[in-house]
Structure 1
């Protein structure tokens, strides 16, 4: 081999080595996976309830999944709920987000590039609570009253729709924007006449400090709240193998959380967040765990997200229409269901929230 050929061989070898190194670098696994949760949570370590994600958190399933790969898992909890999670996504401080429907849609309308991977806690109920001696006995009694509504969360829009169903608009009440803890303090001290909220109010009720005068449970499923696991689009594109592994763990947690034989243990795990077992029993009373913990992106979920977009536009909570159909990235969910033999485990629901006749794989 002459010197010219040898030089060319060395040059091309160097180019190939650089190309391979660049390719490996471009697809290197992340050193840390950061998951933002749209609640302050509670306990030590901090966790949350009402979602199969809380089971994965308490059992360290994600940490175990990535331990051999040397990838650290960080959980970040946000007292400011959905709006605070959107800010963290915008600043690329988190990679995944557990978040309610309305705040995730607000984020999308503001240009956040995310993908919805699966549902992680659906059909969450909304309640109206008042001080024990209040003369407010129904939604209609709220006219002119001071009412706590945590604006920008997935309960905000449901509260507006509940008011509308009872002949009231949001302007008919004196709305006060308070987070969960502040709302409880205000109601107990008679600083507000009533408050909308979720399962967290059962603890206050059971302490004799409040009464529940309205519940969406057993009513139209359109009056419920949905929460999902999202991922930043750029993170998903660069780390597809890791995204699949995260989805696998969440699906595993959803399966465990859907098994009725685990009901008591499930509520015990969620109680580590500071919400008592009795509160979870009340929230899930006479409701199927599988229906509430299904990860499927079915017609009901798609329909609810579209309805939230429409309502948010009408109420000027968002400034422009956003698409929904191309937002759901369910290939990871489909792969996980197949891998775990769960393609027919959950029964999908139709647009009205009714179970379809035959179980189908996720969309």
Structure 2
């Protein structure tokens, strides 16, 4: 296969995931890729509206007692801040939906199965560009890191050695944007085969030699380096412009039906960020518990400076704009749009 054909095939393969979010709006069946965790705020069903909250769980944790929501959003739930304020506007219950990656969450959002989603910037942008009716209501995390590791035996020692080899990451993810951007900047995009693989499946594929490298997300990267997989490249160290952001989106329908929600979400998240920074060790212990990772792995993955009080930090918007431009350049976003038109700020 020629280089141009190879690149076209790669772009087509990735674009399928963006198209799924547009097509799935006609699909009324339950999303089979989600782990549903139904909890009321007080442990007993109360009368009132329900918030259906979706999030990405790349760690594979399926503990139903505590949903694996980390960051300020998870802390707001753990401390009861969010439940307390939502009750004041008639939302008395929260249901949690765990997804392995962003495209799956997008499908659930498009089919009306969730109201609010916390996910990586790339899948959120792809969904919006395909016509999904969402609004960007804030950033959960900025400068989200990626760890590119190789296999333990006979692994490559440089990016150049990936030429002619196969690498993997989760399709439609912020890690994919990093991986394709990194390869392009090193003139390797035409010579490296990228395949889709979810993080929990990566270690086995590396050990079998099916792939030569894998781009891991937050938490999973340091975990696998700790397990002995050699680190080939880390986004934050040399290519911070290729780091990702974790964003929060909400369906336009839900926001219209709950006009006070945005104010509650914004104020509660700001309160949670201030509180977690005053109780850092307690916060890190909480995250380690709910995502089932070692404490040192959590601390390396989640620098507190990356969790900002403001919903729309300048650095986050710059990273998001950079990601969007890259996706447009790659042909993955067919119809460009302005980030400012997608944002919804609390007045």
Same fold by TM-score, threshold 0.5 exceeded?
A: yes
Q: 1:247 aligns with which of 266, 270, 280?
A: 266
Q: 2:322 aligns with which of 307, 311, 332?
A: 307
Corresponding residue number in structure 1 for 2:196: 177
Q: 1:214 aligns with which of 206, 210, 233?
A: 233
- Could you say which structure has the larger radius of gyration? 1
- On the 8 A contact 1:30/1:239 being kept in 2, the answer is no
Higher strand share: 2
Distance 1:323 1:293 in 2: 23
Corresponding residue number in structure 1 for 2:112: 92
CA shift at 1:108, angstroms? 0.6
Q: How does 1:158-307 map to 2 (within 5 A)?
A: 158-169=178-189, 171-198=190-217, 199-208=219-228, 210-257=229-276, 259=277, 261-272=278-289, 273-284=291-302, 289-307=304-322
Distance 1:263 1:133 in 2: 38
Distance 2:310 2:293 in 1: 23
- On the 8 A contact 2:148/2:216 being kept in 1, the answer is yes
CA shift at 1:70, angstroms? 6.0
Corresponding residue number in structure 1 for 2:150: 130
Distance 2:176 2:328 in 1: 14
Change (3 A) 1:222 1:294: farther
Higher RCO (CA 8 Å, separation ≥ 6 residues): 2
Distance 1:262 1:138 in 2: 40
1:224-274 superposed Cα distances (whole Å, 9 cap, x missing partner): 1001111111211221113322332222222233x2x53322221111211
Corresponding residue number in structure 2 for 1:104: 124
**Structure 2 unpaired stretches of 5+:** 1-46
Change (3 A) 1:264 1:148: same
Distance 1:63 1:50 in 2: 16
3-state SS in 2 of match to 1:76: strand
Corresponding residue number in structure 2 for 1:73: 94
1:259-293 superposed Cα distances (whole Å, 9 cap, x missing partner): 2x533222211112112211122335xx5x23444
Q: 1:32 aligns with which of 43, 50, 72?
A: 50
3-state SS in 1 of match to 2:268: helix
The answer to whether residue 337 in structure 2 is matched with residue 322 in structure 1 is yes
CA shift at 1:67, angstroms? 4.6
Q: When the two structures are superposed, what TM-score results if normalisation uses the length of structure 1? A: 0.75
Corresponding residue number in structure 2 for 1:18: none
CA RMSD of aligned residues (A): 2.3
CA shift at 1:102, angstroms? 0.8
Q: Alignment length, in residue pairs?
A: 296
CA shift at 1:105, angstroms? 0.7
Q: When the two structures are superposed, what TM-score results if normalisation uses the length of structure 2? A: 0.78
3-state SS in 2 of match to 1:217: helix
Distance 1:142 1:36 in 2: 35
3-state SS in 1 of match to 2:269: helix
**Structure 1 unpaired stretches of 5+:** 1-28, 333-363
Change (3 A) 1:70 1:104: closer
Distance 1:316 1:32 in 2: 38
Corresponding residue number in structure 2 for 1:82: 102
